[in-house]
Amino acid sequence: MTTERQVSRKAARSPIVAAAAVTVDLSSNDYLGLRNDPRVRAAAIRAIERYGVGSGGARDVAVGMGLVHELEQRLALYKGVPIVRVTQSGYAANIGIIPVLVPHADMAALAEAVHFAADGKHRVLIVTDGVFGMSGDIAPLPRIVEIAEAAGAEVMVDDAHGSGVLGHGRGTVAHFGLVERISVQVGTASKAMGVLGGYVTMFSEEIAARFADSRPMTHSTALPPHLASACLAALDVIEAEPERNDLLWANRHRLADGLASAGIDIGPSQTPIVPVILRDPALALELGRRIRARGVIAGILVPPKVAPHEARLRLIASAAHSPAEIDFAVSVIADASRSIDGTADRSARV
């Protein structure tokens, strides 16, 4: 995933970035390289020419909802669930579904919850990421499901970083073979699909009916048709070209193995999210600056994005990277890390 210096207008103005002729971008969530795929772009343009750039209102009055409904049906087939509802973003999906799963103004449910709480028992909804976005490790879903089932609890998985990546692309829940034992999954179209939008998978028609009245569905403008069209095209590519997932994982292993061989701490990463653990925010900022000057862009994570003493760079491999780009990035990061270590050692001696 090589771009010229104009990574962004802000970056183009930076003398740090201007020093590098090309850039290897390891900061993007575009796991499968679909963000600039010509088929996905063409689908969006066709929908814009027909419907315009916005949907014009909430779902019950919005234009182009046929595309959104088609996307919901396709996602349900892809994820192996009976019901999917599309939202404007993964965040909207989360804030819409959680209140639906917890009864609102239900006095009988409140009395029951108070009674259970007094007895040390609770009605429990366990919410977890499928893949943890700051560290790249995978949630232990089998154990979480065991605990939930023993307590009569439900499990909801936010699989923003797992969908399109794990389980041959179908996500973390499919990776563990737990599709029918997870009540709700939340996903996003902004990462592996390379577009924008969110969705919720459900098994219960009752939950689906209640979700239809949630704020993202009734009080916010619906996902525009051109984004639904682009998502449909992205799904077409994902299903027709499973080798993209193979390339993604080959690049992930090349990146992680290269960094580990250079003695760099990559933490518990199990996925294409590969952190460079530095702990000291100043070191993270300095390493990010140095590798950017040599043409490698990484996410720089310092408090409050991460906990104190957990500062890091976040690297994300993509199917769009070439082996040469991965090797170049590893070399640059390793060289810059050694130079920073030397500077830190000298400072400690002074």
Output Rg (C-alpha) for the chain, integer angstroms. 22
pLDDT value at position 22? 64
* Residue 278, CB-side half-sphere exposure with 13 Å CA sphere: 28
Residue type at 146? Answer: E
Statement to judge: residues 220 and 302 lie in one domain:
no
On the question of pLDDT at 9 being above 70, the answer is no
Percent over 70 (pLDDT), the chain: 85
Instruction: Please say which residue of 207, 222, 240 terminates a domain.
Output: 240
On the question of pLDDT at 7 being above 60, the answer is no
pLDDT value at position 14? 38
Residue 329 or 220, more confident:
329
pLDDT value at position 18? 45
Q: Count the domains in the chain.
A: 2
Does residue 148 contact residue 126 with C-beta atoms inside 8 Å?
yes
Separation CA 296–CA 123 (nearest Å): 48
Statement to judge: residues 196 and 229 lie in one domain:
yes
Residue 331 placed within a domain: yes
Statement to judge: residues 62 and 114 lie in one domain:
yes
pLDDT value at position 151? 76
pLDDT value at position 95? 81
Instruction: Please say which residue of 240, 260, 281 terminates a domain.
Output: 240
Residue type at 265? Answer: D
Mean pLDDT is lowest, of 13-27, 123-137, 233-247, 268-282, for: 13-27
pLDDT value at position 350? 30
Residue 140 placed within a domain: no
pLDDT value at position 152? 77
Separation CA 30–CA 316 (nearest Å): 9
Separation CA 5–CA 85 (nearest Å): 39
Statement to judge: residues 209 and 325 lie in one domain:
no
Residue 155 placed within a domain: no
Statement to judge: residues 330 and 297 lie in one domain:
yes
Predicted TM-score (pTM) of this structure: 0.82
Statement to judge: residues 80 and 129 lie in one domain:
yes
pLDDT value at position 277? 96
List pLDDT tens digits, range 262-320. 999 999 999 999 999 999 999 999 999 999 999 999 999 999 989 889 999 999 999 99
List pLDDT tens digits, range 160-203. 999 999 999 999 999 999 999 999 999 999 999 999 999 999 99
Statement to judge: residues 44 and 182 lie in one domain:
yes
pLDDT value at position 347? 36
Average of pLDDT values for 317-345? 89
Residue 113 placed within a domain: yes
pLDDT value at position 215? 87
- 192 lies in which domain range? 38-135+169-240
Statement to judge: residues 222 and 291 lie in one domain:
no
Statement to judge: residues 228 and 321 lie in one domain:
no
Residue 115 placed within a domain: yes
Instruction: Please say which residue of 200, 218, 240 terminates a domain.
Output: 240
CATH number of the domain where residue 326 is located: 3.90.1150.10
Mean pLDDT is lowest, of 18-22, 38-42, 177-181, for: 18-22
Average of pLDDT values for 30-51? 96
Residue 159 placed within a domain: no
Annotate 85-110 with DSSP letters as a single string. EEESSHHHHHHHHHHHHS-SS-HHHH
Give CA angle at 247 (241, 250), nearest 5°: 155
Statement to judge: residues 22 and 111 lie in one domain:
no
Residue with tokens 């998502």: 231
Does residue 195 contact residue 230 with C-beta atoms inside 8 Å?
yes
